[in-house]
Chains A and B, each alone.
Chain A
Amino acid sequence: MAWVSLILAGLFEMIGVTMINKWHHDRKWTSFIYLLAGFGASFLFLTIAMKTLPMGTAYAVWTGIGASGGAILGMVLYGESRDWRRIFFIAMVLFAAIGLKWIS
């Protein structure tokens, strides 16, 4: 159940990140509400997951799903650059961030 919550937290974070894009494209207040709701639900499920899972593991998985998923959806839905150098450097940043969260 903790892992289900954690994965849901990551998926909601992806939604939150994608809504930032949506809001910049349409500037509708509903998009901004979705943005807040996405990140809000994400933190809620993360908190539930962290009641049983170790904090470092939970943060690492959450970041990994949310930030990489957000970047992928940005490329698929909003035409963000698919330049291999951009993908490589994002992967590098997230690899290091996940590593730091995992061990701390």
Chain B
Amino acid sequence: MNVNWINVFVAAFFEVFWVIGLKHAHTPLAWGGTVISILISFYLMIMAGKKLPVGTVYAVFVGMGTAGTVFAEMAFFGEPFHLIKLVLILILLAGVIGLKVVTGDKEAKEKGVDS
């Protein structure tokens, strides 16, 4: 697990905060936290694209952010649990793991080959 992948996952983690913030924030403090989360998540996502393929980074960023948001809405905000949501989250995680496995480092990226 190198630092670039950790950046993508932390970026997705902050994406969950700001997506929930946009929906549920009602106080200046919550709005401030939402804005800061947007800046942190985009900064980390953009920087991860320096060493990893941007298409991969963005798909994982969006995917993990979505899965995290759906999970948080069910766990903390009373959204109904549906089995289909769980199945889709598992498919998504499998895809992310697959991408992690087949994605090479910068040298591989520049030659246009993976793993």
Contacts and interface: CB of A to CB of B under 8 A. Distances in A.
Interface of A: 17-18, 20-21, 23-24, 35, 39, 63, 66-67, 70-75, 78-83, 85-86, 88-97, 99-101, 103-104
In this complex, the member of A82, A91, A104 whose beta carbon has the largest number of chain B beta carbons within 10 angstroms is A104
A89 to B, nearest CB: 4
A70 B92 contact: no
Contacts, number: 127
Interface residues of B, number: 40
A72 B99 CA distance: 16
A86 B55 CA distance: 10
Contacts of B94: 92
A6 B84 CA distance: 26
B114 A83 contact: yes
B88 interface: yes
B91 A95 contact: yes
